[in-house]
Structure 1
Amino acid sequence: MFSPAEIVDISIDNGIKKIQKPLLAKLILGFIGGAMISLGYLAYIRVSASIPASLASVQAFVGASVFPIGLIVILMAGGELITGNMMAVSIAFMDKKISFKDLLINFLTITFANLVGALFVAYFFGHLVGLTHSGVYLDQLLSLAHHKTEATWLQAIFSGIGCNWFVGLGLWLCYGAKDGAGKIMGIWFPVMVFVAIGFQHSVANCFVIPAAIFEGQGTWMEFLCNFVFVYLGNIIGGAIFVSGFYYASYKHH
């Protein structure tokens, strides 16, 4: 592993590289990012749906154990995920290597592309192929979606903070590992834990809530309200609880 101080510099460099990518690459990789997180969530539903609700903790653990494949693909095969950028791009901004305009444009571009990728998986794989369309899979989908939309705005913000504290740490450990196995382990456990706990991820919600809407449950206004507050929490979790804390602790000018 690199030291925490070295990981700060690596994260800054990665944030700069994210800004410098061509627009087409950002859109393609952002689409991949949104799709991969959604496919991880789809896997969660498929492997956990038949476990009885009375075994809720087992259900959460089994589902959470497969979810991290999305972020592993994004970080190791190529992809852009806004929750990851909230950590990496933010720390580059803190180090004054990029402008606030650069950060804002990156956030908007990657968020849009992630949304398109998530909606693609929700409609075509979930609804059209039928993987979330009936039986226990539909029941699990609706239960997850309703739980998210029923959260108050304050619950959504703090749940978003908890989520991206862990996702940001997954990136942090991935950047700090020196081999592939270390990177996979560094990503897997923080992401598995945030999912098992039940924290909310704005891009994952771009899959699960619209997937429920495509099955006739919920409204787009409910989705939008949830997204705004979870997204805000995700920014705080990634930019402050990971980048901000470690930058203040290890970057000495």
Structure 2
Amino acid sequence: MSTPSTTPAPASTAIPAPAALARTLEEGMLAKATMPRGRMFLLSLTGGAYIALGFVFMVTSQQGMGDWPVGISKVIGGVAFSVGLGLVVVSGSDLFTGTTMTAMPWLSRRITTGQMLAHWGISIAGNLVGSLTVALLIFLAGTPSTNGSAWGLVVLTTTEAKVTHSWGQSFVLGILANLAVCLAVWVSIAGKTVADKVLAVAGPIALFVATGFEHSVANMFMLPLGLLVKNAEGAGFWQGEAITAAGVTKADFAAITAGHALWDNLVPVLLGNIVGGAVLVAAYFWAAYRRDEVTAAGTTAAPAADQASTGTRGRAS
């Protein structure tokens, strides 16, 4: 009589059906929106910091690319930037642009409007602190002056391009960016391994960065750093080889001001990101895959705030 094998069956590599992915996404967003707020803020810090690191890599990749075909150079920069979202996804960090998809459990009435908006606010605050911290560290490290100030020149030209969009253009670019980011998160859910998840985010993120769409959290890093480089770098930076070769001076970047950074970019981009994530991805997939299932299951009975006995309120505190 043979002995039954005790070797476990290999894990399935089959990609879940879209409806299953939608359920998984909603459960993940519910968990994020109802976690203790202290942990929510901590995970938001790294969400901002890791996206900032992705932008650091992107800037580094763009030095000396002036002689390359513009499309190729931008795609290279976009792939480099995707490292940031890969770190966010694998680490479980909280990124505001992805957080907009808590609209899914909100539509299913599993969280209240207050819970959703509180999560968004905490995520924005934590992302901002994390992004600013990396920007300050990069500045103090002297990175903008490296390679004859070529690194800082990329920061300045990138920042100038961002703050010279019209308000409406920034808003629409924000919609498009978070459409791509949230689709990247959607695809990454199907991944079974770290490699799967990293590869899943690379394409959509390279698409949005290479095309010039606008991401609010990335800009929480780039715009403050651009202001620091413009206003706080000394004569040595402005005499760098790359700056001299480009024939530019500080006066050429007069458009880089705090007012332009905030009103002409961060505000409209953030609002656009909400539309791109909450409406074009979260509400769309909820309507396509979750609405009928939720209605049939009768789970639209009461908001989480009215279900104190279930412990949901405790998880959100």
TM-score band w.r.t. shorter chain: over 0.9
Gaps of 5+ in 1: none
CA distance in 2, matches of 1:53, 1:85: 39
CA distance in 1, matches of 2:16, 2:193: 11
Confirm or deny that 1:66 pairs with 2:80: yes
**Paired position in structure 1 for 2:32:** 18
Confirm or deny that 1:229 pairs with 2:272: no
CA distance in 2, matches of 1:198, 1:18: 29
CA distance in 2, matches of 1:236, 1:184: 25
Confirm or deny that 1:190 pairs with 2:204: yes
CA distance in 2, matches of 1:102, 1:53: 50
Which residue of 226, 232, 239 corresponds with 2:278?
239
Confirm or deny that 1:99 pairs with 2:138: no
**Paired position in structure 2 for 1:248:** 287
Cα deviation, residue 178, structure 1 = 3.1
The superposition leaves residues 143-188 of structure 1 with CA deviations (integer Å, 9 ceiling, x where unpaired) of 1101111001110011001100010001101112333332222111
**Paired position in structure 1 for 2:130:** 117
CA distance in 2, matches of 1:114, 1:53: 35
Contact 2:46 2:88 in 1 (8 A): yes
TM-score by length of 2: 0.76
Cα deviation, residue 196, structure 1 = 0.9
Structure 1 runs of 4+ aligned residues shifted over 6 Å read none
**Paired position in structure 1 for 2:227:** 213
The superposition leaves residues 87-126 of structure 1 with CA deviations (integer Å, 9 ceiling, x where unpaired) of 2x1111111110000011000001000001111111111x
Percent identical across equivalent pairs? 29
- Root-mean-square deviation (Å): 1.4
Q: Secondary structure at the match of 1:68?
A: helix
TM-score by length of 1: 0.95
Gaps of 5+ in 2: 1-14, 232-252, 296-317
Cα deviation, residue 132, structure 1 = 2.3
Contact 1:177 1:183 in 2 (8 A): yes
The superposition leaves residues 8-61 of structure 1 with CA deviations (integer Å, 9 ceiling, x where unpaired) of 111111111102222221111111010100110011001112111663222211
Q: Secondary structure at the match of 2:213?
A: coil
Q: Tell me the amino acid that sits aligned with residue 98 of structure 1.
A: I
CA distance in 2, matches of 1:187, 1:27: 24
Confirm or deny that 1:51 pairs with 2:65: yes
* Pairs within 5 Å for 1:76-155: 76-87=90-101, 89-125=102-138, 127-133=139-145, 135-155=149-169
CA distance in 2, matches of 1:214, 1:149: 15
**Paired position in structure 1 for 2:55:** 41
Contact 1:2 1:177 in 2 (8 A): no
CA distance in 2, matches of 1:53, 1:211: 25
CA distance in 1, matches of 2:68, 2:289: 45
CA distance in 2, matches of 1:17, 1:53: 47
The verdict on how the C-alpha distance between 1:158 and 1:12 changes in structure 2, with shifts beyond 3 A counting, is same
How many residues in Structure 1 have an aligned counterpart in Structure 2? 251
